[in-house]
Amino acid sequence: MERRKASNGSAAAFIWVVLLLVLPLRLSGLALTVHEVECVYEFVHFEGDLVSGNFVVVDHNIFWGSDHPGVDLIVSSPHGDTVHTSKGKSGDKFEFKAPSGGMYKFCFHNPTKIPESISFNIHVGHIPSEQHLAKNEHFDPVNVKIAELRESLESVTLEQRYLKARDARHRLTNESTRRRLIFYTVVEYLLLMLASVLQIWYIRRLFSKSVAYNRV
């Protein structure tokens, strides 16, 4: 009988591991265009669930500016309380425990008049306690460990998306800086050429006046 229970527990654990590897990760990835205010809603099932995510402003053109002014992110609970705030950031990560279940609101505020494209990723994680699982002394701890492993994998995936979005933003920033450098270099050469032409013209004019004076 004990061997049969152990065998059933091992089989169930194997099924959970297979589901862990096969099922898609519960991540929400969005691409937003924020003009003034743009809000995203995410439902949290349980109180105490870990809500984590990140955002990156990916395509802001800084050709005429020195840096990005950033956007604001305000997260509100179902009761209207502010649970997280990020001010003036071009990219940031957040993490908090949900004070209650329900619909949470993530609002981006753009202080500039230029529309901004934002890569936004969010994940709601839930690790069940042993009290919420079927009463099996061998099976309960396995479920908890599997849930923790799944949350760890989703956290790694979330971090990879954040780094990928930041890498895309850095490439665009480098490209914008390169174009700005080329533009300023061309303008500098044109000004130097103009100054040289004016100097030559001025010197020739002085010599022409000197020769005319000597003839007189």
Instruction: Look at residue 18 in the predicted model and tell me its pLDDT.
Output: 41
Q: Does residue 13 belong to any structural domain of this protein?
A: no
Q: Does residue 7 belong to any structural domain of this protein?
A: no
Q: Which of 39-43, 47-51, 121-125, 175-179 has the lowest mean pLDDT?
A: 175-179
Instruction: Look at residue 59 in the predicted model and tell me its pLDDT.
Output: 67
Is the distance from CB of 91 to CB of 126 less than 8 angstroms?
Answer: no
89: CATH? 2.60.120.680
Q: Which of 28-37, 65-74, 110-119, 185-194 has the lowest mean pLDDT?
A: 65-74
Residue 81 has pLDDT above 60, yes or no: yes
Q: Does residue 15 belong to any structural domain of this protein?
A: no
Q: Does residue 188 belong to any structural domain of this protein?
A: no
- pLDDT, tens digit (0-9, with 9 covering 90-100), for 87-141: 988 888 999 999 999 999 999 999 887 888 888 998 888 766 555 545 555 456 6
Instruction: Look at residue 113 in the predicted model and tell me its pLDDT.
Output: 73
Instruction: Look at residue 162 in the predicted model and tell me its pLDDT.
Output: 81
**How many domains is the chain partitioned into structurally?**
1
Provide the residue range defining the domain that includes 68.
32-174
Q: Mean pLDDT throughout 191-203? A: 89
User: In which band, very low, low, confident or very high, does the pLDDT at 169 lie, cut at 50, 70 and 90?
Assistant: confident
Strands 91-97 and 102-109: unpaired
Q: What is the rounded distance in angstroms from the CA atom of residue 23 to the CA atom of residue 27?
A: 12
- pTM higher than 0.75: no
Q: Which of 8-22, 26-40, 199-213 has the lowest mean pLDDT?
A: 8-22
CA atoms lying within 13 Å on the CB side of residue 152: 7
Q: Mean pLDDT throughout 41-66? A: 78
Q: Does residue 115 belong to any structural domain of this protein?
A: yes
Mean pLDDT, all residues of the chain: 76
Q: Does residue 213 belong to any structural domain of this protein?
A: no
Q: Mean pLDDT throughout 80-85? A: 93
Region class of 88: left (phi > 0), else alpha (psi between -120 and 50), else beta: left
- Top pLDDT among 55 and 159 is at 55
| Residue in 146, 130, 145 with CA at minimum distance from that of residue 18 | 146
Q: Does residue 211 belong to any structural domain of this protein?
A: no
